[in-house]
């Protein structure tokens, strides 16, 4: 994971991790994970500020990634 050089430390982190792993040729699979329902409201999508930060962070990740031409955030 460290070799991927992930720089984002906020909302763009998960997206940057997946994009960089795919660009590095890693296989990505999805697995169901048991979890308890969320208690309380989301700090990201529950507020305008959180939503704005998430959109900004993810847009920045998509714009900076090599080989991502033509992707409009």
Q: Is residue 14 part of a domain?
A: yes
Average of per-residue pLDDT across 44-72:
71
Burial class (CB in 10 A: 0-12, 13-18, 19+), 6: middle
Query: Between residues 4 and 71, which one has the greater pLDDT?
Result: 4
Q: Flag whether 26 is in a domain.
A: no
The verdict on residue 23 lying in a domain is: no
Question: Does 12 fall in a domain?
Answer: yes
pLDDT reading at 51 higher than 90: no
Range 65-69 average pLDDT: 52
CA dihedral 27, 29, 35, 37 (to 10 degrees): 110
- Rounded Cα distance between 73 and 59, Å, is 5
**Residue 69 pLDDT more than 70?**
no
Domain range for 48 is 1-18+43-66
Number of folded domains that form the chain:
1
Question: Within a domain: residue 30?
Answer: no
Q: Find the length of the chain.
A: 73
Task: Decide if 48 is inside a domain.
Answer: yes
Phi-psi region at 32: left, alpha or beta (left = phi > 0; alpha = psi -120 to 50)? beta
């Amino acid at each position: 994971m460290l070799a991927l050089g992930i720089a984002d430390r906020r909302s763009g982190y998960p997206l940057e991790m997946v994009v960089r792993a795919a660009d590095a040729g890693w296989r990505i699979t999805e697995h169901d994970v048991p979890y308890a329902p969320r208690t309380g409201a989301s700090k990201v999508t529950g507020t305008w500020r959180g939503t704005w930060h998430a959109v900004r962070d993810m847009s920045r990740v998509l714009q900076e990634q090599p080989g991502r031409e033509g992707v409009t955030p």
